[in-house]
Amino acid sequence: MGNAVKLSTFLEANTNIDLAKLILSLAEGCKIIGRLVNNAGLSGIIGTTGDTNVQGETVQKLDDLSNKILMDYLRASETCAGYLSEENEGIATLNQNGKYIISVDPLDGSSNIDVCAPIGTIFNIYERLSGAGDVSDADFFQKGMETKAGGYVIYGSSTILVFSTSNGVTGFTLSTEDNDFYLSHPDMKMPEKGKIYSLNQGNTEKFGEGVKNFIAYCTMVDKETSRPYSLRYIGSMVGDLHRNLIKGGIFIYPANKGEKKGKLRLLYECIPMSFLTEQAGGKATDGTQRILEIQPTELHERTAIFIGSKNLVEKAEEFLKG
């Protein structure tokens, strides 16, 4: 790979040893998940387990496998004290003396597995509040502002790890030559002015007036602002956000009319993506409040989210205010 910088070298130079160990263990686990995703049709692991998870959603075999793989690899890191996952009802203590805790969506967008569309692993890392011993729910109830590292691995036409340790956003591509992550996307910036909007527009009738009016704004013809904007929605937050991070745009998962919470989960979907987006110069809000300032009170709580390029998030906020 010539002079390309390895993930391990980058972490050594840019973060402390405990956090580096944790991120490297996570990356090893994600390599295994990526291989399973690549070979899903061949290994008989497409389909559901027949169970539903804590949120009442159908569990895909790969959701379950990914969850187990991550738990094993993070336990082996020795620095990861606690684990919260979309697939587990409660938290788990992995290392009594670990310094960090992690919240993960092991395989986000998993309904896309059988159609070969991009899916991903999303993660958020805090320092634990409790000193040692078993972790508690309170360790995880920290505002997104306290995030020490957050990001995702996208399993797409390439497998790419994108993360931040509060020092900008960096992307590492998994080489199929030697199965190592190499620096490929230094200093990623969310374009300030996006021209893509991403949401499940089929649900328009369920949305409140503010969101409906924003959609109408996006579809209006206006030369000066390059409208109409393009609608791009894969139905996989990692895929949609990764594209918008590179090209500029807004991703929205709103609440339905009269409700405050959307579908996506605060601790392991919205906070890490918001942390990353802000680190890249973008914005993320639930419509009225910055996502990173929300005080979590439940492990699996949900929130509405408007996230992406500044111009579009601010425009959406204008419409939401009415």
d(CA 287, CA 285): 5
- Kindly state whether residue 60 participates in binding ligand AHM, applying the rule CB under 6 A: no
Q: Does 57 bind ligand AHM (CB under 6 A)?
A: yes
Q: How far is the CB of 237 from ligand AHM (least distance, A)?
A: 3
Which lies closer to ligand AHM via its Cβ, residue 95 or residue 124? 124
CB atoms within 10 A of CB 230: 14
Within positions 220 to 259, which residues make up the interface with ligand AHM, using CB under 6 A? Answer: 235-237, 253
* Cβ closest to ligand AHM, residue 64 vs residue 105: 105
Site pattern 137..176 for Mg ion (x: CB under 5 A): ----------------------------------------
Give the whole-angstrom CA distance, residue 69 versus residue 1.
Answer: 28
Binding pattern for the stretch 260-279 against ligand AHM, x by CB under 6 A and - elsewhere: ---x----------------
Q: Quick check: 108 binds ligand AHM (CB under 6 A)? A: yes
How far is Cα of residue 20 from the mean position of the Cα atoms in its chain?
19
What is the total count of residues that contact ligand AHM (CB under 6 A)? 12
Question: Could you tell me the sign of the dihedral formed by the alpha carbons of 276, 278, 279, 282, in that order?
Answer: positive
Name, in order, each residue with C-beta under 8 angstroms of 205's C-beta and a sequence gap of 6 or more: none
Q: Is 67 in the site for ligand AHM (CB under 6 A)?
A: no
Q: Edge-to-edge strands of the sheet including 305-308? A: 230-231, 196-198, 250-253, 305-308, 283-285
- How many CB atoms are located within 10 Å of the residue 167 CB? 11
CB of 264 to ligand AHM, least distance (A): 6
CB of 321 to Mg ion, least distance (A): 29
Confirm or reject binding of residue 63 to Mg ion (CB under 5 A): no
Q: How far apart are the C-alpha atoms of 317 and 263, rounded to whole Å? A: 19
Alpha carbon distance 36, 13 (integer Å): 31
CB-nearer residue toward ligand AHM: 7 or 122: 122
3-class DSSP state of 223? coil
Residues that bind ligand AHM in the complex, under the rule CB under 6 A: 57, 86, 105, 108-110, 200, 235-237, 253, 263
Residues that bind Mg ion in the complex, under the rule CB under 5 A: 105, 108
